[in-house]
Amino acid sequence: MRYVIFDLETQNTFQDVGSSDPAALDISVISLYDVGTDRYTTVALEELSTVWPILEHADALVGYNSNHFDIPILNKYYPGDLTRIKSIDLLEEIKKSLGRRLRLDSVAEATVGAKKSASGLEAVRWWREGKIDEIKKYCEQDVRVTKKVFDYALTNGHVKFKDGGRKREIPLDTSTWGIREESAMTHSLLF
């Protein structure tokens, strides 16, 4: 199964655009890890078209809050429809099991001892300051953290979080994660 684990950062916030629709936001940077090539790719907005072939070869897109946030934003730029690719949204899976949302940092720290290096708001500030390399480093670190959590969940069928002073397990139904789905994908590549 060829998973592509990804994350993106934006140039602006919901407050800036006066909307709660993620598609109203603009991408600054995207980072992806392609299991098929064992490579990370991190690019700024002007290089965005270079990631379409990576996404189009994915059997599943993996992210954290990706169905609600990342995919709607990315679809605004993509010439096809990314919702036609199987999606595994770790936050959605956690919410299904636990009944509430958790921050990636909370899950990653308790599950695999990893931490994010900054926040999305810092990435917006860096965009305004022209610090694109900082955003790239941060975004790629988020993908590395998400990959560790995903790999752990896939192997163990659960993730963890701290509840007060103790760690608790959140069981996840990973039984369909490895099943390929046929998609009527509109590709940007010429085949």
Span 166-175, pLDDT tens digits: 899 999 999 9
Q: Is 71 helix (H, G, I), strand (E, B) or coil?
A: helix
Closest Cα partner for 10 from 126, 92, 108? 126
Taking 90 as the threshold, does the pLDDT of residue 54 lie above it? Answer: yes
Q: How would residue 114 be classed by pLDDT, with cut points 50, 70 and 90? A: confident
Domain positions in the chain? 3-171
pTM metric for this prediction = 0.91
Q: Which helix (H) or strand (E) holds 152?
A: helix 132-156
Question: How confident is the model over 26-51, as a mean pLDDT?
Answer: 96
DSSP state, residue 64: S
pLDDT range class, residue 191, cuts 50, 70, 90: very low
- The verdict on domain 3-171 having CATH code 3.20.20.120 is no
pLDDT of residue 117: 62
In this structure, of 62-66, 83-87, 119-123, the range with the lowest mean pLDDT score is 119-123
Mean pLDDT to the nearest integer, 19-41: 96
Residue 6 pLDDT: 98
Question: Burial letters for 66-95: b for 16+ Cβ neighbours within 10 Å, e otherwise?
Answer: beebbbbbbeebbebebeebbbbbbbbbbe
pLDDT at 26 over 80: yes
Q: Residue 182 contacts by C-beta under 8 Å, 6 or more apart in sequence?
A: none
- At 187, is the pLDDT very low, low, confident or very high (cuts 50, 70, 90)? low
